[in-house]
């Protein structure tokens, strides 16, 4: 394709048909740019909500905030909606906006290389394609992290990761163990405790739990949302404001008095709802609330106190034929073991091989850790943009809003190419170095740097998430600083 055709009718390659990929396709169509294809390695769309189907799964961001701004949903059943409902929402939006038929499923991208001024991609099935721009909407919480536990193959029962829940395995009346205490584990315990014979939670680190009221929307409320969209817009605006000002913005200031209020609320939740003083202390974290991703639950403390529930805080020594042997020598006999052990959060576009200018490999650029300017662009990888990439606002944020803001920003860079300013655009090395230095310095003052271990930290213990307020993120996304970009 000639430079002229690149400007007038650029071709976009969208990798991933989750929340961000579907949004990208809709927004490209809206802009009159229909020369694109969405490639999805799975057989259905949905990303995180397609893959995570464990009992009790729900979003911990309010439903009217965790929605596309252009496709609000009047029919959410609860303040925090269950996973299946969110998956159905994305499927419905994709169908209504004509995107579902534009997705090529079963197409895993294995290599993506910038050659001759264009991106050429290769698939696991041997086929290829090429385009002018790549939008990598590959997700963050995607690659399961498996624990290093001796004897996983020795266990006679069923073992699976929480994000690969095996629904063919019956759990009713069974002895079920869960490894982990993050959001997934907490939801699973609450979701299955009434169904199983015995529920054993293997806890390495206690979590602060903030109470939430997940009330259902009434038929009258949903009818009003349908009949008066302005009411739904006002609710979304109010929820967004409260969530941003009362939570997202304060995480980046470890000295914020609002963080103390969150700490007090979590402490009261623990002390008021866990009766046994011994169990209470075993559930009490030794770090500040929100240092790790804050877990939200209305019923976990009730669930872990059920007669058939047990909290195990001894370390796991190994798996044996009939169960888990802990470091104190006790054998916990099980029928099913669920590994709710999180994700490899630094993978991003990998294991896809990405090759930029002059043969430079992204794996080499990221050998000491993943990074990207404003979570989107990397030097020497022109016309390649990530949504919710490294250093994005993640954890207890609405990644939908993040992706929408990033896409609008990217389109301003695309217009620079379409207007003839150049054919290739990416952040300069100087801007990347400046941004990364500023990010690391700001990260020292966030709550995530106050002494706990979490998936927010890189190998050097530096928080990787966006270290400034969400208000600043919105401001930075409003218009690119073109002097930070190379245009060739």
pLDDT tens-digit readout, 429-443: 999 999 999 999 999
288/276 Cα distance (integer angstroms): 22
Distance CA 132, CA 9 (A): 10
Token duo for residue 223 = 């009818």
The reported pLDDT for the residue numbered 46 is: 96
CA gap 138, 17 in Å, rounded = 8
Tell me which residue of 140, 131, 123, 125 sits closest to 353, measured CA to CA: 123
Every domain of the chain and the residues it spans: 3-143+344-487, 158-213+242-339
CA quadruple 465, 288, 49, 124: dihedral sign:
positive
Phi, psi for residue 354 in degrees, rounded to 5: -120, 125
CATH number of 158-213+242-339: 3.50.50.60
In a 13 Å sphere around the CA of 318, the CA atoms on its Cβ side amount to: 7
pLDDT tens across 131-181, in order? 999 999 998 878 899 999 999 999 999 999 999 999 999 999 999 999 999
pLDDT tens string 418-476? 999 999 999 999 999 999 999 999 999 999 999 999 989 998 999 999 999 999 999 99
Counting every residue, how long is the chain? Answer: 488
Q: What is the pLDDT of residue 5?
A: 58
- Quick: pLDDT tens for 322-351: 999 999 999 999 999 999 999 888 888 999
CA 228 to chain centre: 32
Q: What count of other Cβ atoms lies within 10 Å of the Cβ of residue 214?
A: 18
Confidence of residue 1 (pLDDT cuts 50, 70, 90): very low
Cα separation, 23 vs 71, whole angstroms:
10
What 3-state class would DSSP assign to 447? helix
Measure the CA–CA gap between 482 and 417, rounded to whole angstroms.
12
pTM reported for the whole predicted model: 0.95
Q: How confident is the prediction for the chain on average, in pLDDT?
A: 95
Give the Å distances, CA to CA, from 332 to 5, 162, 201, 466: 65, 20, 11, 41
Q: What pLDDT shows up at residue 9? A: 87
**What span, in angstroms and rounded, lies between the C-alpha atoms of 288 and 259?**
9
How much is the average pLDDT of 272-289?
98
Tokens at residue 324, please? 């888990």
Cα angle 60, 47, 32; round to 5:
105
Q: How many angstroms separate the CA atoms of 33 and 15, rounded?
A: 17
Q: What is the mean pLDDT of residues 238-266?
A: 93
What is the rounded distance in angstroms from the CA atom of residue 382 to the CA atom of residue 324?
50
- Convert the pLDDT of each residue in 57-116 to its tens digit: 999 889 999 999 999 999 999 999 999 999 999 999 999 999 999 999 999 999 999 999
CATH superfamily name and code, 3-143+344-487: FAD/NAD(P)-binding domain (3.50.50.60)
Closest CA to 251 of 465, 398, 473: 465
- Span 184-229, pLDDT tens digits: 999 999 999 999 999 999 999 999 999 988 999 999 999 999 999 9
Confidence of residue 2 (pLDDT cuts 50, 70, 90): very low
Residue 396 pLDDT = 60
Contacts of 329 (CB under 8 A, 6+ apart): none
Identical fold between 3-143+344-487 and 158-213+242-339: yes
Q: How far is CA 376 from CA 303, 322, 369, in A?
A: 41, 47, 15
pLDDT at 237: 95
């Amino acid at each position: 394709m000639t430079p002229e055709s690149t400007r007038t009718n650029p071709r976009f390659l969208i990798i991933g048909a989750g929340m961000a990929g579907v949004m990208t396709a809709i927004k490209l169509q809206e802009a009159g740019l229909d020369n694109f294809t969405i490639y999805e390695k799975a057989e259905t769309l949905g990303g995180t909500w397609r893959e995570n189907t464990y009992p009790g799964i729900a979003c911990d961001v309010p439903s009217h905030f965790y929605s596309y701004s252009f496709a609000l949903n009047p029919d959410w059943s609860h303040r925090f909606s269950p996973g299946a409902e969110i998956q159905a929402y994305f499927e419905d939006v994709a169908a209504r906006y004509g995107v579902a038929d534009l997705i090529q499923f079963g197409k895993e991208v294995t290599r993506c290389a910038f050659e001759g001024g264009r991106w050429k991609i290769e698939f696991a099935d041997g086929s290829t394609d090429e385009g002018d721009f790549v939008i990598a909407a590959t997700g963050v919480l995607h690659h399961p992290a498996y624990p290093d536990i001796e004897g996983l193959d020795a266990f006679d029962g069923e073992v699976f990761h929480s994000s690969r829940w095996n629904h063919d395995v019956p759990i009713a009346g069974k002895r079920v163990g869960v490894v982990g205490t993050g959001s997934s584990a907490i939801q699973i315990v609450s979701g299955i405790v009434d169904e199983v014979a015995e529920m054993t939670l293997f806890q390495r680190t206690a979590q602060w739990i903030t109470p939430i009221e997940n009330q259902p929307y009434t038929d009258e409320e949903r009818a009003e949302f349908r009949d008066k969209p302005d009411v739904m817009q006002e609710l979304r605006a109010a929820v967004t404001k409260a969530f941003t000002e009362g939570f997202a913005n304060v995480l980046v200031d470890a000295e914020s008095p609002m963080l103390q209020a969150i700490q007090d609320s979590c402490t009261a939740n623990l002390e008021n709802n866990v009766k046994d003083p011994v169990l209470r202390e075993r559930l009490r974290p030794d770090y500040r609330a929100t240092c790790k991703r804050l877990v939200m639950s209305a019923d976990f403390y009730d669930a872990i106190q059920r007669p058939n529930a047990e909290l195990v805080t001894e370390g796991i020594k190994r798996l044996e034929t009939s169960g888990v042997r802990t470091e104190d020598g006790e054998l916990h006999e099980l029928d099913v073991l669920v590994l709710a052990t999180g994700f490899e959060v630094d993978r991003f576009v990998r294991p896809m091989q990405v090759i930029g200018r002059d043969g430079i490999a992204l794996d080499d650029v990221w050998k000491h850790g993943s990074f990207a300017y404003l979570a989107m662009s990397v030097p020497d990888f022109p016309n390649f943009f990530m949504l919710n990439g490294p250093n994005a606002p993640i954890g207890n944020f609405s990644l939908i809003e993040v992706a929408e803001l990033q896409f609008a920003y990217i389109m301003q860079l695309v217009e620079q190419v379409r207007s003839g300013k150049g054919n290739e655009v990416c952040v300069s090395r100087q801007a990347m170095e400046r941004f990364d230095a500023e990010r690391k310095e700001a990260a020292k003052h966030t709550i995530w740097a106050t002494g706990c271990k979490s998936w927010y930290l890189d190998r050097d213990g530096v928080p990787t998430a966006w270290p400034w307020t969400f208000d600043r993120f919105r401001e930075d996304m409003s218009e690119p600083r073109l002097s930070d970009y190379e245009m060739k």
